[in-house]
Amino acid sequence: MVKIGIVGGTGYTGVELLRLLASHERAEVAAITSRAESGRRVDELFPNLRGHYDLAFSEPEVGELASCDVVFFATPHNVAMNMVPELLAAGTRVIDLSADYRLRDAALWSRWYGEPHASPECLADAVYGLPEVNREAIAGARLVACPGCYPTAVQLGLIPLLERQLVDPQQLIASAASGVSGAGRQAKIDNLVSEASDSFKAYGVTGHRHLPEIEQGLADVAGQQVSVTFVPHLLPMIRGIHATLFANLQGDPGELQALFESRYASEPFVDVLPAGVYPQTRTVRGANRCQISVAVPQGRGTVVVMSTIDNLVKGASGQAVQNMNIMLGLPETMGLQQVGLLP
């Protein structure tokens, strides 16, 4: 069995990790930390896990965590970067679900997150954990930076076009909407039912922290700098992301449906829908799956890609488990074969 530690077990991504790992054939969660809930049983806080775990939350101690084979950080930014160097030195593999190691440029990270990076020496060793692009590097990684939810949906939708240089990389538009769980499990007025229900709004229009991550990943694929206009929105629901992506075609793009189907034919967690069928957030709810559709409305030279994921699964904890499987040489789909929840 693979001995697992989870730092930050009381947030949505932490409990989602517990849910997914409960059905993983090779994973044994040995430690789960929370300063606020230390000593409290996990199944007391999360009754859905009764019968699956006999664990209590503990203080995050490097010594205990270093005894694990893999440690997940399901924490806000600036937590992992203070503990990861010691864990790596102890030989523990780390998968960070926060933003601490997603950007390779420490100065750029500091500009977007408003503080110095605590372990910039680790940035060069961090592998960006988007399996559909970096599978080989992930397999040999000691530190994996799990992509953000919006960046996952946006990149998977645009990658086939940029790889073939079929669109203008300077004129990319991503209009994406997320359920309220994307903001985390914390008290915020904007996330109250009476505030978010029966409403739809944009936020972070002039600058969202996921933008540099999106542009970095797409630039790697395109082989040149890209420019993305990214506008996130808040949906009045709990889970799910729907990204509608726009790009200007250049040259003769050929059959885009066939391009997308071919690009993702061997990817277990990307589903290209038939032409004319458009993805919905409800069909990927609870599943580690991205569903994609592509169209060129009225043949006017603008390609539209629609991409949906569950922000807590393929957008976070499911992708993290997928990365773990790759790192450990396990079947990539192990513990991740849940079917989307309907209705």
**Residue for token digits 């309907």?**
342
Q: Residue 250 — pLDDT band, cuts 50, 70, 90?
A: very high
| Confidence check: pLDDT of 187 > 80 | no
Give pLDDT, residue 1.
95
Residue 208 is encoded by which pair of tokens?
């969202």
Within 8 A by CB and 6+ apart from 297, the residues are 304
| Among 134, 118, 49, 37, residue whose Cα is nearest residue 85 | 118
d(CA 143, CA 295): 37
d(CA 31, CA 9): 9
Does domain 2-146+314-327 bear CATH number 3.30.43.10? no
| Confidence check: pLDDT of 338 > 80 | yes
334 SS3 class? coil
CA 100 to chain centre: 13
Percentage of the residues of the chain whose pLDDT score is greater than 70: 100
Tell if the pTM clears 0.75, that is, is over it: yes
What region does 156 belong to: left with phi over 0, alpha with psi -120 to 50, or beta?
alpha
Q: Report DSSP state, residue 120.
A: G
**Using omega within 30 degrees of 0 as the cis cutoff, is the peptide bond preceding 343 cis?**
yes
Q: How many CA atoms lie within 13 A of 132 on its CB side?
A: 30
Q: H-helix or E-strand containing 271?
A: strand 270-272
| Confidence check: pLDDT of 186 > 80 | no
228 SS3 class? strand
169-172 LR contacts (CB < 8 Å, sep 24+): 169/218, 169/219, 169/222, 169/224, 169/225, 169/226, 169/227, 170/226, 170/227, 171/227, 171/247, 171/248, 172/218, 172/226, 172/227, 172/228, 172/229, 172/245, 172/246, 172/247
Q: How many CA atoms lie within 13 A of 294 on its CB side?
A: 25
Q: Which residues are catalytic?
A: 149
pLDDT digits (tens, 9 = 90+) for 275-319: 999 999 999 999 999 999 999 999 899 999 999 999 999 999 999
Percentage of the residues of the chain whose pLDDT score is greater than 90: 92
* Contact of 308 with 269, CB cutoff 8 Å: no
Residue 121 is encoded by which pair of tokens?
């020496």
Q: H-helix or E-strand containing 323?
A: helix 318-327
Residue positions counted in the chain: 343
- The DSSP annotation for 175-227 comes to EEEE-GGGG-SS--GGGSHHHHTT--EE--TT--THHHHHHHHHHHHHTS---
Give pLDDT, residue 251.
83
Q: In what order do the strands lie in the sheet with 70-73?
A: 27-33, 2-7, 70-73, 93-96, 143-145, 126-128
When the pLDDT of each residue in the chain is averaged and rounded to a whole number, the result is 96
Q: Residue 191 — pLDDT band, cuts 50, 70, 90?
A: confident
In the chain, where the domains are located = 2-146+314-327, 150-311
pLDDT digits (tens, 9 = 90+) for 207-225: 999 999 999 999 999 999 9
| Mean pLDDT, residues 16-32 | 97
Q: Which CATH architecture has domain 150-311?
A: 2-Layer Sandwich (3.30)
pLDDT digits (tens, 9 = 90+) for 55-106: 999 999 999 999 999 999 999 999 999 999 999 999 999 999 999 999 999 9
pLDDT digits (tens, 9 = 90+) for 34-44: 998 999 999 99
